Amino acid sequence: MSVEIGPPRPDDTAVAGPTQAAARPRPPRRDRWLSAWGPPFLVFLAVLGLWYFISYVLLNADRRFVLPPPHAVVQVAFMDRYNLAELLDGLWLSTRVAFLGFAVAIVVGVALAIAMSQARWIERSLYPYAVMTQTIPILAMVPLFGLWIGYSFNSRTLVVVLFCIFPILANTLFGLQSVQREYHDLFTLHNASRWTRLWKLQFPTALPAMFTGLRISAGLAVIGAIVGDAFFKQGAPGIGILIDRYQARLQSERMVAAIILSSLLGIVVFWFFGFLARRVVGGWHESADDRGP
């Protein structure tokens, strides 16, 4: 009895291929960390280099206040205890305004989207006014809000709501209405109630689109809090009022530091909802799966 020795047959390779691919080891944790955080860190170094280049090469010494170098910003704004406390107090006030307005926008936007998804006449009646929240000049409405409800915490929160509500409403409504007709027919076949259809079919289908709207509105909430704060110019100073004050006093180091803190706040909120989306829908929907091949 003879035994053939040679390369594996094509059918053997086809059988073993998927098994070998599945058994391929994952890259070490250090390599995964470098691939995830290495490129952003290199871009950060490039931005710092460009910043120093503009401050020391393109600007003269008497015009360096226009864009102070990074170490000057850190020394004046973050190393000084008084300046840091002022910045953190303003950031905390703007954070509370942004989160409260964002929460109100979520409740109102999702509720309106659910109502519009249940009846066409409700959608035709309310959707034009939802679009109007994005077409009216919100900055022109700020003085009216001050006259109506005062230049307080509530008026700033209302500005944030107007900034945030439309992306939440539009994306949630799109998700609720994007269920395939075959699934609706299946629920109809089982005599499912309107509530069962909404809770077990439409709402899970709408989650990816809803989280897209939440991530968009999360950044808009920070913008709305700062814009409303800067234009009201009354009450407890938030980060927007501080930016306006520093600009008027030519305190560019503190102004740049306030802009950096507000940007970091927006990034943190955006990342949080991205993380939440991966936790909620990442296990069954590819839109929240950021893994590479």
CA–CA gap between residue 204 and residue 119 (Å, rounded) = 19
Position with higher pLDDT, 36 vs 118: 118
Which 3 state secondary structure label does DSSP give 167? helix
- Burial-class residue 51 by CB neighbours within 10 Å (0-12, 13-18, 19+): middle
Tell me the mean pLDDT in the region 53-74: 87
Position 103 pLDDT exceeds 90 = yes
Please tell me whether residues 226 and 131 are part of one structural domain. yes
- Position 96: which residue type? R
CA–CA gap between residue 162 and residue 131 (Å, rounded) = 11
Return the percentage of the chain with pLDDT > 90, whole number. Answer: 22
Please tell me whether residues 122 and 212 are part of one structural domain. yes
Position 217 pLDDT exceeds 50 = yes
The answer to whether residue 11 is domain-embedded is no
CA–CA gap between residue 283 and residue 281 (Å, rounded) = 6
Domain housing 45: 28-67
Q: How confident is the model at residue 64 (pLDDT cuts 50, 70, 90)?
A: confident
Question: What pLDDT, on a 0 to 100 scale, did the predictor assign at position 88?
Answer: 92
Please tell me whether residues 77 and 63 are part of one structural domain. no
Q: How confident is the model at residue 11 (pLDDT cuts 50, 70, 90)?
A: very low
Please tell me whether residues 43 and 109 are part of one structural domain. no
Position with higher pLDDT, 119 vs 7: 119
Number of domains making up the chain: 2
Please tell me whether residues 95 and 224 are part of one structural domain. yes
Please tell me whether residues 237 and 171 are part of one structural domain. yes
Tell me the mean pLDDT in the region 63-87: 88
190: which DSSP letter? Answer: T
The answer to whether residue 103 is domain-embedded is yes
Which 3 state secondary structure label does DSSP give 24? coil
Closest CA to 98 of 5, 223, 236: 223
